[in-house]
Amino acid sequence: MGAALATAAFAGVEAMQNVQKPRPGQVATFAFGGDRNREFMLDGKPFQIRAGEMHPQRIPRAHWRHRIQAAKAMGLNTIAFYVFWNDIEKEDGSYDLTGMRDIAGFIDLCAEEGMWVLFRPGPYVCGEWDLGGLPARLMKTRGAHLRTMKNAEFMQEQERYLEKMAEIAVPRLSKNGGPILMVQLENEYGSYNSPHSHVEYIQWLKAFWEKKGAGPFYLSEGATRRHLRFAVPGVALGLDPAENEHHFQVAWGVNPEVPVFSSETYPGWLRHWGEGNWTPAREVLDVVRWYMKEGRSFNLFVLHGGTNFGLTAGANCNGKMEDDDIEPDLTSYDYGSPIGEQGNLTKEYFEYRDIIKNALPAGAQVPEPPATPATMEVAAFTPVKAKSFGRYFGVGSAHENPPTLEELGQNQGMAIYRTSLPKGPEATLYCRVHDMAQVYVGDRYVGEINRMKGQSSIRLPERGEDGVSLKIVVDTFGHINFHHKMERDNKGIVDAVTLDGQALTGWHVSRLPLTTVPQPRHPKGGRLRLAQSQSACFTAEVQLDKVADTFLDMSAWGKGYVWVNGHLLGRYWSLGPQQRLYCPAEWLKQGKNEVFVLDTHRTEPAPIRGCTERNTEVLKETENANNAW
């Protein structure tokens, strides 16, 4: 079928006439229909999905309603969101579905605000999130294959997780009186590039959800036949992105009798440490104008990015090196989105709103945008240095060879690997570390090994006697979240450590998970003493008369982590572009607030102040990649 005929057979702007909204408890039938089953149909009429992506696990719960209302005021009718498995499942296998993790509560709030939902449970989601949302324990066996039926442990664990997702989602399907229109099966599976990828895995996921009574479904893939090779009959195709008629025709050429839509249209793009700041993709305004002219369904990824709080930020791989390339993502997930990290409505937000609103029928009733949440300044304060850095690490465990952190049951964080060195002349230490390490011989600091720079070795000085200690202090970024290289992204020391080719054995590993505020645990004067430590911990008490959102300016610091009242805001790094960490009002208190800083590149404190907005200076131009297939 040619492009002209396909367009003529498509309902187009007629789909925008269906302005039906979800009403809690009211059943609605969402299905595929029309010519060759290429239409989304809501209660028997063509329906245009106008979605905006936001992730509740990246948004302070107190701001959920504001973000949903802002999406509705832009003329959208649907919220799309990922669920991050590794954030809701605890170490003992139970689930934490409270606060920002209350997935059911978020779906119900969407319905309350009259917004439909595209439910994206994974189990793998990418999303620039640590390991694409998969639990790090699946990496305990080095080289374990993920996202495949050929790994029995993975299949067993993901089925248990999906059972929990079905408990939440199935009662909230539109046919059961909820707002969920479709469930996404997997995410960009055609981009994984693993020899273990196979269509039977997608078929298994479809069968799982069908047994639970769910449907219809969609897949998100790139807009080429290669990326769409795992398409399944009867499953709608979302393209990441679909920006013109050609993209739609490519998808219909693979799966001709299902609806096609743009499941991820990018109004901005992600950023890594060392790149430039966020910039909007202004050319996408014209793409949205085309969607509205043609009545095509779409999802803006992301409408609102939010924040990678804690250790949730993931990483990409740049393909320049065989195994050890990594591009860690920022703590901020602003993305250059129409709704900024703190909920501020950008110039582009109002331009998108005008395009969408002006194309809608009067019955769409687009409301006025909500007010941006208040922000505040916090006067500069300077923390004081706390206990000796080595005292924050646990007593540790003995190993013949250095284990990865996953083998020790830890996801990211820090660790000190120790062994003894033989006496001898200056020598080369080979040490593959994920992701950065500071090396000490005795009490002497020798230097740093940085994976981002392709480093895996360092020269050690002459040792005049046997038994001199070698200490390797490891710090990590999030796991790679895209491409099958994520299967090899264990953290810590990931290979045998050698000195001039001779393996070093007899290791002792002390850990610092960073999942809670570090506490001194090692006895004073113990074996973890680092006389020339390049890292330090700092504390401060900050008095506040009022609370509102703020951004902690860490530009005077090196690289590290900040906790406020026990909440880990995330990583900061002078490398930039991000210099300010978002701190939501709900994590602050009137009166005394406790701030804890762990800096891996400073031993003396510096001032911190609270700002009303994040830093946005571009400084370095970085391209918005836009998944250009």
- The per-residue pLDDT for range 175-224, each reduced to its tens digit, is 999 999 999 999 999 999 999 999 999 999 999 999 999 999 999 999 99
Q: What is the mean pLDDT of the chain?
A: 95
Return the number of other C-beta atoms located less than 10 Å from residue 171's C-beta: 14
Res 8 pLDDT > 50: no
Phi-psi region of 17 (alpha: psi -120 to 50; beta: other; left: phi over 0): alpha
DSSP codes joined into one string, 84-148:
-HHHHB-TTS-B--SGGG-HHHHHHHHHHTT-EEEEE--S---TTBGGGG--GGGGSSTT---SS
The type of residue at 525 is G
Res 265 pLDDT > 90: yes
378-386+535-611 and 389-512 share one fold: yes
Between residues 629 and 97, the one the model is more confident about? 97
What are the residue boundaries of the structural domains of the chain, listed by start? Answer: 3-364, 378-386+535-611, 389-512
DSSP category for residue 267? S
CATH superfamily of 3-364: Glycosidases (3.20.20.80)
Instruction: Give the model's pLDDT for residue 487.
Output: 95
Nearest to 182 by CA among 69, 87, 128, 259: 259
Instruction: Give the model's pLDDT for residue 364.
Output: 87
Instruction: Give the model's pLDDT for residue 544.
Output: 98
Q: How many helices (H) and strands (E) does the chain have?
A: 9, 34
Res 271 pLDDT > 60: yes
Question: Angle at Cα 42 formed by Cα 240 and Cα 126, nearest 5°?
Answer: 25
For 69, residues 6+ apart whose C-beta sits below 8 A from its C-beta are: 113, 367, 369, 370
pLDDT in tens, 119-171: 999 999 999 999 999 999 999 998 899 999 999 999 999 999 999 999 999 99
Residue 362's pLDDT band (boundaries 50, 70, 90)? confident
Residue 60, classed as helix, strand or coil, is coil
Question: Angle at Cα 39 formed by Cα 35 and Cα 41, nearest 5°?
Answer: 120
Instruction: Give the model's pLDDT for residue 320.
Output: 58
Instruction: Give the model's pLDDT for residue 3.
Output: 39
CATH of the structural domain 389-512, one choice from 1.25.40.10, 3.30.1460.30, 2.40.10.10, 2.60.120.260: 2.60.120.260
Residue 523's pLDDT band (boundaries 50, 70, 90)? low
Res 567 pLDDT > 60: yes
SS3 content of the chain, % helix, strand, coil (to 5): 25, 25, 50
Structure tokens at 157: 């664990």
Report percent pLDDT > 90 for the chain: 90
In this prediction, residues 43-59 reach a mean pLDDT of 98
In this prediction, residues 24-49 reach a mean pLDDT of 96
Res 84 pLDDT > 50: yes
DSSP codes joined into one string, 269-313:
---BTTS------TTHHHHHHHHHHHT--EEETTSB--B--TT-B
Instruction: Give the model's pLDDT for residue 15.
Output: 94
Instruction: Give the model's pLDDT for residue 528.
Output: 64
* Catalytic-role residue among 157, 186, 264, 448: 264
Omega before residue 302 within 30° of 0, cis = yes
For the CA atoms of 243, 246, 249, 250, the dihedral, rounded to the nearest 10 degrees, stands at -90
In this prediction, residues 579-587 reach a mean pLDDT of 98
In this prediction, residues 498-517 reach a mean pLDDT of 97
For the CA atoms of 514, 516, 518, 523, the dihedral, rounded to the nearest 10 degrees, stands at -100
604 is catalytic: no
- Match 């170490």 to its residue by tokens: 91
Q: How far is CA 106 from the centre of its chain?
A: 18
In this prediction, residues 365-382 reach a mean pLDDT of 97
Residue 36, classed as helix, strand or coil, is helix
CA distance 392 to 536: 10
Instruction: Give the model's pLDDT for residue 524.
Output: 61
264 is catalytic: yes
Q: How far is CA 93 from CA 68, 131, 175, 426, in A?
A: 31, 18, 31, 48
- In this prediction the pTM is 0.96
CA distance 303 to 282: 14
Residue 241 φ/ψ, nearest 5 degrees: -105, 175
Res 460 pLDDT > 50: yes
Res 7 pLDDT > 60: no
Residue 244's pLDDT band (boundaries 50, 70, 90)? very high
CATH 2.60.120.260 fits 378-386+535-611, yes or no: yes
DSSP codes joined into one string, 204-216:
HHHHHHHHTT---
pLDDT in tens, 315-338: 999 765 566 789 999 999 999 999
* Catalytic-role residue among 188, 275, 348, 406: 188
Omega before residue 461 within 30° of 0, cis = no
DSSP category for residue 515? S
Return the number of other C-beta atoms located less than 10 Å from residue 526's C-beta: 14
Res 482 pLDDT > 60: yes
C-alpha torsion sign, points 418, 558, 608, 347: negative
Between residues 628 and 344, the one the model is more confident about? 344
Instruction: Give the model's pLDDT for residue 2.
Output: 38
Structure tokens at 607: 């001032």
